[in-house]
Structure 1
Amino acid sequence: MTIRILLIDDHSLFRTGIRLLLQRHPDFSIVGEAADGVEGIKLARKLAPDLILLDLNMPGLSGLATLQILTQEAPDCAVLILTVSEDADDLGQALQAGANGYLLKNVDGDALVAAIHRIAAGDAIVADEMTRKLVEQFRQRGGSESAAPRGSRDRLTQREREIVQCLVRGESNKLIARSLDLSESTVKIHIQNILKKLNLNSRIQVAVYAVEHGLLDGNPRG
């Protein structure tokens, strides 16, 4: 299956490098490029790509604002943030806005290719160093300012809590299935149930929720 990709980044040289890298893979097709968020949104509407590589720091309409519009107008399109920002706040806002992944621009080419494949398969990707920063930020803040609703937390089964912890570590469905001795289809069903119970839209939002509300140690706050 060919993965149709749209690039949105204000640096033309960077877009060229990414395009040349991805064009070496026959299952990737670069269907369009945009130098700003407004043009990127127009192309996303017109081209309906499978995945968008989006920069956060752009003049005019910011990457975050662009992301918020894209998740509303192109909900079936995955968005991978590719940025220089190592700010945990940027990561948190991007995930809450619906990003499917967050990688830094110093990512290795092979790692980027692997990330695109995983996101296209329904997984979520966050750079390891950024996950650590996000967890540390929440710990320094003492977790959420307000505890999660008790009913939502208590509806999670023990198995679902185990899967949530795997999601926080950024594990793929295949790895979760292997570590918990489950089938991948069973893992997918559990994740769907978790999303429904917590009223969230993506596995990354589950990871953020888990860190924010103290679900990592099996002893939720509240």
Structure 2
Amino acid sequence: MMLLDRDPTAEVLTAGSAADAIDLVTREGDSADLLILDLSMPGVSGTELMEEIVRIQPMLKILVVSGLVDEQSIMRVLQLGAAGFVPKSLDTDMLTSAIDFVLKGGVFIPSKLLAESQRTGFINRTTELIPQEAEPVHLTERQKDVLMLLAQGAPIKRICRDLNLSEGTVKTHVAAIYRAFGATNRTEALLAARRAGYEIAI
């Protein structure tokens, strides 16, 4: 209801178990703008489901909504490439803001969690997961185009359409961008690109 209130034209697909979620991602993952994922679904524990989804659809943008707010869980989902982490205690307005921010290409972590993370040193440990650039990163003009669309939160099929490229070509450019930044997923690539001087919202 919240998503449709935000955008009446949105198509919202749901899954009630880990198996259903895998089926849904397998069918719709290439064209989906966003997956809102609860870590605690029937049939899995911890980050097992997210790990499987990332294996199946590594380019899918994922916003994790969870009652698990321990450092290990947050650190692991960010390492896996989550575009954001939202505790279930967050109010509806903040959740809507998180969805909007992630859809625009940002990486969302609530300010309260950020403050606690800074106090415990968690942010520093998370940053260590993201490769640091030893020299300037050089991308081709087409790779820059793909990077900017990734930063806007565009799924693969939208990038194909906007740049008039085949899916295979776009995935080749994405892989090259990851290699250039020493990244293993979209979140790492965007964080690294921002540090390298690209205008990326984080």
Instruction: Give the TM interval when normalised to the shorter protein.
Output: 0.5 to 0.7
Q: Which residue of 1 aligns with 2:160?
A: none
Equivalent pair of 2:80/2:185 in contact (CA under 8 Å)? no
Equivalent pair of 2:181/2:189 in contact (CA under 8 Å)? no
Could you list the runs of 5+ residues in structure 2 that have no partner in the other structure?
138-150, 153-175, 196-202
Q: Which residue of 2 aligns with 1:67?
A: 50
Task: Considering fraction of residues, name the structure with more strand.
Answer: 1
- 1:31 and 1:44 map into 2 onto residues whose CA distance is 13
Distance 1:153 1:205, change over 3 A: closer
**Structure possessing the higher relative contact order (Cα contacts under 8 Å, 6 or more residues apart):** 2
Q: Secondary structure of the equivalent of 2:48?
A: helix
Deviation, structure 1 residue 194: 9.4
Q: Which residue of 2 aligns with 1:123?
A: 106
Q: Which residue of 2 aligns with 1:41?
A: 22
Q: Which residue of 1 aligns with 2:162?
A: none
Equivalent pair of 1:195/1:201 in contact (CA under 8 Å)? no
Select 1:136's aligned residue among 109, 114, 119: 119
- 1:71 and 1:147 map into 2 onto residues whose CA distance is 17
Q: Secondary structure of the equivalent of 1:155?
A: coil
Deviation, structure 1 residue 193: 7.6
Distance 1:61 1:33, change over 3 A: same
Which aligned runs of 4 or more in structure 1 are off by greater than 4 angstroms?
146-149, 192-195, 204-207
State how 1:151-170 maps to structure 2 within 5 Å: 152-155=132-135
TM-score normalised per structure 1: 0.56
RMSD: 3.6
Equivalent pair of 1:83/1:105 in contact (CA under 8 Å)? yes
Q: Given residue 35 of structure 1, which amino acid in structure 2 is its aligned partner?
A: G
TM-score normalised per structure 2: 0.60
Distance 1:110 1:139, change over 3 A: closer
Equivalent pair of 1:22/1:28 in contact (CA under 8 Å)? no
State how 1:148-187 maps to structure 2 within 5 Å: 152-155=132-135
Q: Which residue of 1 aligns with 2:181?
A: 197
Deviation, structure 1 residue 93: 0.6
Asked whether 1:22 is paired with 2:15, we answer: no
Q: Secondary structure of the equivalent of 2:65?
A: strand
